[in-house]
Amino acid sequence: MRIDECRRSRILKREAAVRDANRFVTTMKQLYIHTIGCQMNVYDSGQIAALLVPLGYRLTSQLASADLIVVNTCAIRAKAEQKVFSFLGRLAALKRRRKTLRIAVGGCVAQQQGAAILARQPCVDLVFGTQALQRLPRLVAAVEAGARRLTDTETAAATQIDGRFPAVARGGAPSRFVTVMRGCDNYCTYCVVPYVRGREASRPPEHILSEINAMVVDGAREVTLLGQNVNSYGLKEGWCSFAELLARVNAVEGLSRIRFTTSHPKDLSDALIAAFRDLGKVCPHLHLPVQSGADRILKKMNRRYTRDGYLRKIERIRRMVPEIALTTDIIVGFPGEGRADFEKTLDLVRTVQYDALFAFIYSDRPQAPAARFAEKISEEEKKDRLRQVLDLQEGITRRKNEALVGTTQTLLVEGTSKRKDAPGDESGLVQYHGRTPTNRIVHFPAPVDAGLQPVLVPGLLVEVRIEGAYAHSLRGRLLSIQAPLKRAKGGTCHAA
């Protein structure tokens, strides 16, 4: 009898605690973040979410239930900018139905257009620029207190940034971005980044390392260090070189893999190339944007390297790190790009044999000098050149992928893809996906456990035999797991 009462009172207490917790969760304000653009914006969106927690906001994936919507914008090409305004159009309709909804616009378009966004889209309550991130809690508090149509696009004259970014818990996500520097001093003539992100400024290594250590405690196994030009990390401030930073990140216990982007070809040092060879956790993948294969166009782009200089660097990298995967960015249809210039770009792609590439149609950016260059290329011609680059690369990627069939690859498990079979049927398999050190995506089947949950958790390293190649991915068969199964204690265990 006494035991029953005891149990009942325990149950009642637990139910009361759950009610309290639910009340707390439902009284929290809902924050929806819409991110457009690059990995830096993805990282900044994490920062925005963390900065607004003290104001009582928690993230929601439901646009309709949000109290505050933050649109984190990108201005790199006209298309990205158009996306911002079409999304804001949707939000205007939402706000007509829910008057209490607050809308904030941040990122590069916010920096570039400031108050003009308020004029164009009256549903917006707050515009905050790329250097206003740390001031966001104060700005949102002001909006909550009734301020309307607020703009903060102030930029600091100093080139220093406060590197103590707030810690972002991401519930065990294995792969994270870490911004190590902001801004860019290169002024490529097509590019808006120096105008919207400001002068180059690096975070102190101690802040970067303590953030990475916290991420590892939160379940991260791979970090991608981000900067517009990581090769010049710390030079201005006199911290340490980027190669030295990599060595310090390499020593972080519990971390399996390090990636970074982006390197400017003109600043790629031998010390950095050696990091691929000497630091066990640095993945053999280098993204080295070439933009064009014609010296005439590289000069007009203010890239400050030549085609030959670029190719010599590629040769040196491959000599030092033969297994390295190389990727690049290419712009087609830059003003004045003639057929012969474009042929040189195609020829460079054939010569280098990249593992993958991103190709973009040149887009005028009003603040960037190339917007005022003569000899604009027609949209039709640009589209045709884009198609040619993509077709050429698709063949190269496919052949490279096919050459991997029969090899064994180590993958960092990222999660499950769509289920191959319904859980619980006789095969009991789930499709997982992971990445090779060279950044190729591999899909492979593996079992679910007795509770029909995936056996492999994100963040595990597994070995697979590659059995199939597609244009953009590979198919593999699980050979072994290099880290414990979900419920096993440790050691290497081999899958069937």
Binding positions for ligand SF4, rule: CB under 6 A: 184, 186-188, 191, 193-194, 228-229, 264
Name the nearest CA neighbour of 332 among 286, 293, 299, 302.
293
Give the one entry of ligand SF4, ligand 5AD, none that residue 186 binds, where binding means its C-beta sits below a cut-off of 5 to 8 angstroms depending on kind.
ligand SF4
Closer CB to ligand SF4, residue 46 or residue 194?
A: 194
Closer CB to ligand SF4, residue 224 or residue 228?
A: 228
With CB under 6 A, what is the number of residues at the site for ligand 5AD? 12
Give the one entry of ligand SF4, ligand 5AD, none that residue 256 binds, where binding means its C-beta sits below a cut-off of 5 to 8 angstroms depending on kind.
none
Q: Does 165 bind ligand 5AD (CB under 6 A)?
A: no
Contact 65, 97 (CB under 8 A): no
Tokens of 365: 């950016």
Closer CB to ligand SF4, residue 331 or residue 430?
A: 331
Give the one entry of ligand SF4, ligand 5AD, none that residue 331 binds, where binding means its C-beta sits below a cut-off of 5 to 8 angstroms depending on kind.
ligand 5AD
Give the one entry of ligand 5AD, ligand SF4, none that residue 329 binds, where binding means its C-beta sits below a cut-off of 5 to 8 angstroms depending on kind.
ligand 5AD
Q: Does 331 bind ligand 5AD (CB under 6 A)?
A: yes
Give the one entry of ligand SF4, ligand 5AD, none that residue 111 binds, where binding means its C-beta sits below a cut-off of 5 to 8 angstroms depending on kind.
none
Give the separation between CA 204 and CA 276, rounded to whole angstroms.
22
Q: Assign 104 to helix, strand or coil.
A: strand
Give the separation between CA 21 and CA 164, rounded to whole angstroms.
31
Give the separation between CA 103 and CA 70, rounded to whole angstroms.
6
Closer CB to ligand 5AD, residue 47 or residue 229?
A: 229
Residue with tokens 């990627």: 397
Give the separation between CA 289 and CA 287, rounded to whole angstroms.
6
Q: Tell me the one-letter amino acid at 234.
A: G
Give the separation between CA 55 and CA 48, rounded to whole angstroms.
12
Burial of 193 (0-12, 13-18, 19+ CB in 10 A): buried
Tokens of 239: 């911290």
The CB-of-452 to ligand SF4 minimum distance in angstroms stands at 46
Contact 58, 24 (CB under 8 A): no
Give the separation between CA 380 and CA 385, rounded to whole angstroms.
9
Angle 265-269-275 from CA coordinates, rounded to 5°: 115
Q: Which of residues 338-377 bind ligand 5AD (CB under 6 A)?
A: 360, 362-363, 365
Q: Does 77 bind ligand 5AD (CB under 6 A)?
A: yes
Give the separation between CA 160 and CA 390, rounded to whole angstroms.
40
CA distance readout (Å), 103 to 72, 83, 95, 144, 150: 11, 16, 9, 11, 11
The CB-of-362 to ligand SF4 minimum distance in angstroms stands at 12
The CB-of-331 to ligand 5AD minimum distance in angstroms stands at 5
Among 218, 267, 329, 384, binds ligand 5AD (CB under 6 A): 329
Give the one entry of ligand SF4, ligand 5AD, none that residue 76 binds, where binding means its C-beta sits below a cut-off of 5 to 8 angstroms depending on kind.
ligand 5AD
Closer CB to ligand 5AD, residue 48 or residue 370?
A: 370
- Could you say which DSSP state residue 448 is in? B
- The H or E element that residue 296 is part of is helix 295-300
CA distance readout (Å), 205 to 27, 211, 247, 287: 38, 10, 11, 22
The CB-of-152 to ligand SF4 minimum distance in angstroms stands at 23
Phi then psi dihedrals of residue 447, to 5 deg: -75, 165
Closer CB to ligand 5AD, residue 227 or residue 289?
A: 289
Give the separation between CA 125 and CA 136, rounded to whole angstroms.
13
Q: Does 227 bind ligand 5AD (CB under 6 A)?
A: no
Q: Which of residues 121-160 bind ligand 5AD (CB under 6 A)?
A: none
The CB-of-348 to ligand SF4 minimum distance in angstroms stands at 17
Give the one entry of ligand 5AD, ligand SF4, none that residue 365 binds, where binding means its C-beta sits below a cut-off of 5 to 8 angstroms depending on kind.
ligand 5AD
Give the one entry of ligand SF4, ligand 5AD, none that residue 363 binds, where binding means its C-beta sits below a cut-off of 5 to 8 angstroms depending on kind.
ligand 5AD
Per DSSP, the chain holds a count of helices (H) and strands (E) of 14, 20
The CB-of-301 to ligand SF4 minimum distance in angstroms stands at 8
The CB-of-391 to ligand 5AD minimum distance in angstroms stands at 18
Give the one entry of ligand 5AD, ligand SF4, none that residue 229 binds, where binding means its C-beta sits below a cut-off of 5 to 8 angstroms depending on kind.
ligand SF4
Residues that bind ligand 5AD (CB under 6 A): 76-77, 190-191, 289, 291, 329, 331, 360, 362-363, 365
